[in-house]
Amino acid sequence: MKIKIIVPINNSDFNDEIAQAVEPVLTPDMTVDVENISEGTRSIESRYDIMSGSIGLV
């Protein structure tokens, strides 16, 4: 099974941490791919950032 995690920020600063966070619950037949949106903010610090990052996920 392949799982894709889409991080709603436009940089990969947290991708390794996110991949490591889910690693303990993976079974041997599971793989994880962590990607980012191409537009939006570099971090989520307000409700506006959440909203602008969500646009890239729709």
What is the pLDDT averaged over residues 15-25?
95
Structural domain total, the chain = 1
Asked whether the beta carbons of 4 and 35 are under 8 A apart, the reply is: yes
Confidence band, pLDDT 50/70/90 cuts, at residue 8: confident
DSSP assignment of the chain: -EEEEEESSSS-TTHHHHHHHHGGG--TT-EEEEEE-SSS-SS--SHHHHHHHHHTT-
pLDDT in tens, 36-53: 988 878 888 888 877 877
What is the average pLDDT value for the chain, to the nearest integer?
88
Asked whether the beta carbons of 15 and 44 are under 8 A apart, the reply is: no
What is the pLDDT averaged over residues 27-37?
94
How far is C-alpha 51 from the geometric centre of its chain's CA atoms? 15
Tokens representing residue 15 in the block: 């991708």
